[in-house]
Structure 1
């Protein structure tokens, strides 16, 4: 099969070709679109042979004042639930899906959490937020905050250590994870050791969206229109003020001082690469230790092609290594002058 994009990793091209038979027009109805996405996820996981690791899990529901209840799923690193006080690292994670699709029952995300929990020797708490457009901002950050608070309060009884706590997410989930770090700084200031953001969307004004030079074959104007449609579904059509709200656009917070250390991963062929890389610069300018990695030849979603794309395996191993490292003493970096 000829490569459409000369910049794209050929391993992605090969994996995409295997999944092409599952591509069908997406329904306009949001519920039907989610059902179709769930089926595509199931078929893709089976076609790619992505393993479903046998680990213990437990579901919970958290009340969120003024909003729908939020679900979460706890993943332990083995087939047995850890004993209370076992002191394992705890990683709170939010899935991606443009605020409109996916969830903790999505087989692809479930496989990811199982694999990472087992490999990292850590507890992963996967949080679920209500989907747009039926539910709109600020429902989602408030739900994610409630899930994070629950994780802190129950960490010890789950077998974790609240002093070895990290938070993360991919795409829209990365947006929400970053929002929770801001909420935490202004509220209870729990000690978050690390935030892990995979291809995050952190500026919903789209001022940092980098759609040029991607060679996707889709005009810049269309890419921006598609992105704007998702943002309007999340924030409400025409809600320009919400786009600048720091809980919708964490990059636009007045200050990033005091936020947790960050690991940010972006992809060369992803319009959101500009968001993640600008956020890295904002954090380091504020004196926050941060690392940003741009994966060349990769797309917004290619990180899910584990076992088929070497870069996807590297992303997975990098996240796993960062979670595992929570078990060791944190590094103390010098305070930067003139921050």
Structure 2
């Protein structure tokens, strides 16, 4: 199907970079900040509260979104996108508000450390620490710690997938379900061939190969670390015994094929997987085009997945498994 006309207008309005121009990180961060949805255009939610997760030598900022209704609420831990180098609690505020309203989950957004100031695995460690804290303290938020789902978009989807693998490797059953929104799943370096055809077909539809390669360079100290399964979840030796997963991909996204390949492999290795490709959309559509019907379709799919029976965590509070992972 042809790309959505609203997205086409947006792409045509973007400045065309000079040949060979590689934007500096400061330039990317400035553009990202400028594209944040103004507060007055964000959907209302019952309550929003900024908090800090205390760690031994520092803290992690989180933002808690509470929908209308009576708790304890199921919990959804959310990791924002931005190529591991961009984004914060404000840039993805719209997505979290819509998730809270549509799913009736209490959404907890994590302001993890960014590269290159804090390269891999700093962001992953923050996200895992946030999960452990929420599992032990969810009742303080009027939440149900036996029903914690985690998810994220783009780089945040990478972090969510990696956190699930890390929790499994540490034999901790804290996650009920995982939601991966057009996720980064595999390392890419400019100049190298890739098996994912979408990297070539949709290079001019928002997220480019050059930009993705730049993000990976900032995130990893050395390209060789891209082989680590916590950096590239699809390269994990095993994807067994992981939480049920929803993968949402966009038709015009360079990351489409790797996300769909990951869904296929999860299914092949026994994980309950639900995949939905949103037609006519490009990378990042849930944030920039949250009012389009295609975005509403995606949010409905997420809410349906989160609220369907099954997948509750079965671990004790010390993190040890007490039964089979659902």
Shorter-chain TM-score above 0.5: yes
Is 2:8 the partner of 1:13?
Answer: yes
Residues 182, 32 of structure 1: CA spacing in aligned structure 2 closer, same or farther, 3 A cutoff? same
- Residue 30 of structure 1 is matched in structure 2 by 25
Q: 1:77 aligns with which of 67, 74, 77?
A: 67
Is 2:181 the partner of 1:198?
Answer: yes
Give structure 1 stretches of 5+ with no counterpart. Answer: 1-5, 332-339
Give the conservation status (yes or no) of the 8 Å contact 2:75–2:145.
Answer: yes
Residues 196, 7 of structure 1: CA spacing in aligned structure 2 closer, same or farther, 3 A cutoff? same
- Residue 111 of structure 2 is matched in structure 1 by 128
**Which whole-Å CA distance do the structure 2 matches of 1:176 and 1:295 have between them?**
22
Give structure 2 stretches of 5+ with no counterpart. Answer: 313-326
- Residue 216 of structure 1 is matched in structure 2 by 204
- Residue 268 of structure 1 is matched in structure 2 by 251
1:194 Cα deviation after fit:
1.0
Secondary structure at 1:296's aligned position in 2?
strand
Give the conservation status (yes or no) of the 8 Å contact 2:168–2:241.
Answer: yes
Residues 24, 147 of structure 1: CA spacing in aligned structure 2 closer, same or farther, 3 A cutoff? farther
Give the conservation status (yes or no) of the 8 Å contact 1:64–1:142.
Answer: no
**Which whole-Å CA distance do the structure 2 matches of 1:97 and 1:53 have between them?**
24
Give the conservation status (yes or no) of the 8 Å contact 2:177–2:311.
Answer: no
Give the conservation status (yes or no) of the 8 Å contact 1:89–1:323.
Answer: no
**Which whole-Å CA distance do the structure 2 matches of 1:159 and 1:214 have between them?**
43
Residues 330, 136 of structure 1: CA spacing in aligned structure 2 closer, same or farther, 3 A cutoff? closer
Structure 2 length as normaliser, TM-score? 0.83
**Which whole-Å CA distance do the structure 2 matches of 1:171 and 1:61 have between them?**
24
1:142 Cα deviation after fit:
0.5
1:24 Cα deviation after fit:
9.4
Residues 127, 188 of structure 1: CA spacing in aligned structure 2 closer, same or farther, 3 A cutoff? farther
Corresponding residue pairs, total: 303
Is 2:151 the partner of 1:160?
Answer: no
Give the conservation status (yes or no) of the 8 Å contact 2:250–2:281.
Answer: yes
Structure 1 length as normaliser, TM-score? 0.80
Aligned positions of 1:1-339 closer than 5 A: 7-14=2-9, 16=10, 20=13, 28-31=23-26, 33-42=28-37, 50-63=41-54, 69-78=59-68, 86-106=71-91, 109-205=92-188, 207-209=194-196, 210-214=198-202, 216=204, 223-236=208-221, 239-304=222-287, 305-307=289-291, 309-325=292-308, 328-330=309-311
Give the conservation status (yes or no) of the 8 Å contact 1:132–1:234.
Answer: yes
Residues 217, 270 of structure 1: CA spacing in aligned structure 2 closer, same or farther, 3 A cutoff? closer
1:27 Cα deviation after fit:
10
Residues 24, 149 of structure 1: CA spacing in aligned structure 2 closer, same or farther, 3 A cutoff? farther
